[in-house]
Chain A
Amino acid sequence: MRQPSFEWTRGPAIPVVSVLFALVLGGLFVWISGHDPITAYAALLRGAFGSPYDISETLLIAVPLLLTGLSVAVAFRAGLFNIGAQGQLLVGAVAAGWVGAQWPDLPAIVLLPLTLLAGILGGAVYGGIAGWLKAARGVNEVITTIMQNYTIVFVMHWLLQNGPMQAPNAFGTPASAPIGAGAVLPVIVPDFLVPSSRLHAGVLLALLATVAFWFLLWRTSLGYELRAVGLGMRAAAQAGIDPRKRMVIVMAIAGGFAGLAGMIQVSGLFHRVYDGFSAGFGFDAIAVALLGKNAPLGVVLSALLFAAFSRGGTLMQSDAGISSHLVEIVEALVLFVIAAETVVRAVARRWGTPVKAVS
């Protein structure tokens, strides 16, 4: 479906130049709107990396972006387009939140793995449904996952507003009952290092998941088959791989990554499920995966880039006084220029810079 036009592994020159070019373009927009681009970008940097606290918050946003990015990436690798990471994340969150609150008195050594499993399984089942519908009934996964994203939102409205998961003490906020202490992912940064940090062990889980992603795709026969399917149905069939059987597995794995993201948001950050929760990670994830070229390191880096924009963009508004919509426009430009990197490539060629070697 798409042609990889650069590989992060081959050197960072092109992506870095693209981001710089985009920032210049975005700065122009900021300047036209009557603000100072330097102040704006200073605020952006400060918001993302200005203090240990800011860095920890940026990492917190990067975690769900990374995991949903892996979710989208694993599907892409197998030739499937998973628009449903958002829905899978929510199902994982609901499943984890339910288990965590159902047996709140269990010790952590039992409850935490149970909650983790529930989150991953929840997402995997939801993703697996899309894979199964494609394999069994030929339903395009794009349709199913778009529809699934909406469905879970309304199901959560029901569960949390006046349905079975509504917390008796939710002070009017549609939310579930809090999970037990044993289901909570501990904060891993001591207070004397970063005061009031929320950075929890979910960061480690996310890194572990990234290693698992790499291992699965490049070190197992299943991964080889999945990539073969992604490269072309016919080739895979010649190699004796039934692409249909793989669809369910791939979408379940994709859902599992996203479900883990949902579990981490519940166990690490909120300790309960809120309605309208973790909005948008699963959609940013599509761009995260594509910018990262569906490769482990690339996805990590692009998740960090997006997270930096998310936190830094906030300070562009609060400290530099730039409308959040302008921040969106700048972000869109960055994304667009990275997508159209051939522009940068063409310019680079003309100027005869070393990045030529990359193409």
Chain B
Amino acid sequence: MDVLIGAGVLAATIRLATPVALAALGGVVTERSGVVNIALEGCMLVGAFFGVFAADRTGSLPAAIAAAVVAGILLAAVHALAAITFRADQIVSGMALNILALGLTSYLDYQLYSTTGTPSTIPLVPNVHLGFLENAPVLGGAIGDQSAIVWATLAIVVLLQLFLFRTVPGLRLRSVGEHPRAADTLGIDVRRTRYWAVLASGALAALGGVYLSLSVAGSFSDNMTNGRGFIGLAAMIFGRWTPVGALGAALVFGYGDALSVSLQGVKVAGVEFPVQLLSTIPYLLTVLAVAGFVGRSRMPAADGQPYESEGH
């Protein structure tokens, strides 16, 4: 059945999973260090906008991506300041920054591009054409023509998995999220580590945003991330706070999302499924997958808890 596992569906799965995966990776990094960052949605949104904005102003793709990532890092830095330095409520701070990001990007888009739209000539992230796969069945269609950011995401997953679980700095980061007191005793700077982790999460989420604006859409529109930062948080939990797991979870979600398109107009036993209900597939599929295969997961022990060093 092509509508279930055809090359087109698989390619769509990968495309739709990528932004969710990047948000989820950001979530993994920050929560492994013990900071909850639900401002990932906002980081994606500023990444999406400032990517387009910089592409328009500079005409340079690297500059655009750099600007997007910097924007995501800056927003995350505000969260880090609130969550780590001021020990603010992390969820409220994250929500505030999401609203801020939505208001700011919509405001700027309206001021700059309301009548003309974002320019159609901005440089976009190119797709990577794998010529040697051209004639391969399924595989060629599925991965033969994906955005460069898709491949970058895959690389980030591998590197991040290795970093977190195979390197000393990765171990330190995780220990800060599990036993900050013990880590502190061992001479690890808990706050500094958490700062870096939160900033990295902003960068990763912003990359997800710039994927949406400069690879998928080629333009910015209000709230174009449409909740993917939150789906990413769910994917992070689903993936048990590991990069590889997060990718897997994002792929499950992306597959459901792809099905909601590919099954449109398909008749089963002469009956066509209402198109509105098809759109529930990714959400139901995700819950079923977690309930059926993943089950209980354990969050980092000190997740969401501000740390106050002894001497403070």
Whether the Cβ atoms of A157 and B279 lie closer than 8 Å is yes
Report the separation of the CA atoms of residues A83 and B97 in the bound assembly, to the nearest whole angstrom. 17
For chain A, residues 71 to 117, give those with C-beta under 8 angstroms from any C-beta of chain B. 83
Is the pair B233, A339 in contact by a Cβ cutoff of 8 Å? Answer: no
Please provide the chain B residues from 49 to 88 with a CB less than 8 Å away from any CB of chain A in the complex.
Answer: 78, 81-82, 86-88
Decide if A204 is an interface residue (CB 8 Å cutoff): no
**Chain B residues near A158 (CB-CB < 8 A):** 274, 276-277
Q: Is A335 an interface residue (CB 8 A)?
A: yes
Nearest to A275 among chain B residues (CB) is B276
B92 close to A140 (CB less than 8 A): no
Selecting from A55-63, A144-152, A191-199, the interface stretch reads A144-152
Given known contacts A161-B276, A343-B86, A147 and B286 CB-to-CB distance under 8 angstroms = yes
Chain B residues within an 8 Å CB radius of A290:
89, 91-92
Q: Which residues of A contact B231 (CB under 8 A)?
A: 146
Cα A343 to Cα B87 in complex, Å, equals 9
Q: Are A143 and B88 in contact (CB under 8 A)?
A: no
Segment from A1-9, A39-47, A118-126 that makes contact with B: A1-9
Taking a contact as CB atoms closer than 8 A, the residue among A151, A326, A327 that contacts B284 in the complex is: A151
State which of A139, A140, A161, A339 has its C-beta within 8 Å of the C-beta of B93.
A339
Q: Are B296 and A328 in contact (CB under 8 A)?
A: no
A16 touches B (CB below 8 Å): no
CB-based contact A146/B295 at 8 Å: no
Does B263 lie at the interface of the complex (its beta carbon under 8 Å from any beta carbon of A)? no
Question: Which listed residue, B104, B234, B283, touches A325 by the CB 8 Å rule?
Answer: B104
Q: Which residue of B lies closest to A33 (CB)?
A: B107
Residue B196 interfacial (CB < 8 Å): no
* Binary interface encoding of chain B residues 18-46 relative to chain A, with 1 for a CB under 8 A from any of its CBs, else 0: 00000000000000000000000000000
A332 contacts B97, CB within 8 Å? Answer: yes
Contact call A3/B86, Cβ cutoff below 8 A: no
User: Min CB distance, B265 to chain A, in Å?
Assistant: 15
Whether a CB of chain B sits under 8 angstroms from the CB of A138 is: yes
Tally of contact residues, A, Cβ under 8 A: 47
Contact residues in B for A5 (Cβ distance below 8 Å): 87, 89
Q: Which of B87, B92, B95, B103 contacts A326 (CB 8 A)?
A: B103
B14 vs chain A, min Cβ distance (A): 21
Structural contact, A286 and B95, CB atoms closer than 8 A: yes
Chain B 299-312: CB-based contact to A (< 8 A → 1; otherwise 0): 00001111000000
Using A138-B296, A286-B91 as known contacts, say yes or no to A147 and B237 having CB atoms under 8 A apart: no
Once A138-B295, A158-B274 are accepted as A-B contacts, the answer to whether A335 and B280 lie under 8 Å apart by CB is no
Query: Which residues on the A side are within 8 Å of B82 (C-beta)?
Result: 336, 339-340
Which residue of chain A lies nearest to B286 when distances are taken between CB atoms in the complex? Answer: A147
Contacts of B102 in A (CB 8 A): 328
A-B contact pairs, 7 of them (CB 8 A): A137-B290, A137-B295, A147-B286, A150-B283, A154-B279, A336-B92, A339-B82
Which residues of chain B have a CB within 8 Å of any CB of chain A? 78, 81-82, 86-93, 95-97, 99-100, 102-104, 106-107, 110, 227, 230-231, 233-234, 237-238, 274, 276-277, 279-280, 282-284, 286-287, 290-292, 294-297, 303-306
Given contacts A2-B90, A139-B287, A328-B106, 4 further A-B contacts (CB under 8 A): A286-B95, A329-B99, A332-B100, A339-B89
